Structure 1
Amino acid sequence: MRVLVTLLAGVGAAVIGTFAHRMGASMNIPYGLVLAFVIVGLSTWCARSRCGVTGVAFHLIASGATAWMIAAASTGDALAPIGFSGDLPYFSQKAGYLWLLGMIVVQMAFLFMPPSWFVIDTRTSHAAADMPSADDAPAADDVSVSGEPVTDDSATDNLIGDPQQAR
């Protein structure tokens, strides 16, 4: 099931990234390309934390194949246009190449990161884990007169009066 989720996430990240990567390219401000790389990076991080290095491989295959098929299958009105010449802004000419090759580089970078960066802590928070719960509280009959919990050694120390009388 994890591999299926990883494959679907790779396809989804590639489709969304392919639609987003050209935003701002005509103004030479490639915010869409940055957004697309962030989406692929987050999806790859999840794949690595879910399935390890194998998850990155599955994610790379699924996302790469999807993006390259979209680029190859688009005719005329291309979603990932490549190979421009003429008087166009730099990112309008190169955004397609940067997306198709950059998404591979981004995902490969996740292979060289330490495994400890991909561990998901299952605790809700560290502060909540340190706080005592209702189960940790002493029972009403385990409390001495002074309000402190009764232990085996302190059973007679907290009583009022002579400890010998308590026995």
Structure 2
Amino acid sequence: MTQHVKTTADSDERPWSHRFGPLGRTAVTLLAGAGAAFVGTLAHRMGAAVNIPYGLLLAFLIVALSTYCARARQGVTGLALHLIVSSAVAWGLALFGGPGGDTLVVAGFSTPTTFFSQHAGYIWLYGVILIQVAMLVLPASWFRIPAPKGE
């Protein structure tokens, strides 16, 4: 009968992305920021036509969770990288559109419509930045992931 010897990797209870080296953690942070902004841009208008902005809430929740993970993974530097990439993706999709030149972020209307239908685009673009800046001023202790025992 063979016994399994417990290694450091077995006892490491940190999230998977925290176990990478600095370059791996940076790559995860950049991809997560871009992904959160892309998915949020696609989701932010859900419910806006009937003045129930559940898409905005979902999009902001995705960005907030991704930002939390970035700060927990790499501290303020990770949050800064996440902010830069997610803002660039959200604003890039707003300015340059989607495939075939389709508009992905609509802002302002000349015809009367619901409040959120008119303003969801602006709220999304500025909210992406505002949420992440707000998370920057939260206490660092809220973002600590304990290191495994023995390190």
TM-score by structure 1 length? Answer: 0.71
Q: Structure 2 CA distance, aligned partners of 1:26 and 1:109?
A: 28
Percent identity at matched positions? 59
SS at match of 2:89: helix
- Shift >2 Å, 4+ stretches: none
Do the aligned residues in 2 keep the contact of 1:10 with 1:63 (CA within 8 Å)?
yes
* 1:115 has 2:140 as partner: yes
Of 76, 99, 103, the residue aligned with 2:124 is 99
SS at match of 1:86: coil
Do the aligned residues in 2 keep the contact of 1:47 with 1:56 (CA within 8 Å)?
yes
Q: Structure 2 CA distance, aligned partners of 1:84 and 1:34?
A: 22
Residue 58 of structure 1 corresponds to which residue in structure 2?
A: 81
For these two proteins, the number of residue pairs brought into alignment is 123
Of 9, 26, 48, the residue aligned with 2:71 is 48
The structure that is helix-richer by fraction is: 2
Q: Structure 2 CA distance, aligned partners of 1:121 and 1:36?
A: 28
- What residue ranges of structure 1 are gaps of 5+ in the alignment? 124-167
- What residue ranges of structure 2 are gaps of 5+ in the alignment? 1-23
Q: Which has the higher contact order (CA 8 A, sep 6+)?
A: 2
RMSD of aligned residue pairs (Cα, Å): 1.4
TM-score by structure 2 length? Answer: 0.78
Residue 27 of structure 1 corresponds to which residue in structure 2?
A: 50
Q: Structure 2 CA distance, aligned partners of 1:71 and 1:10?
A: 16
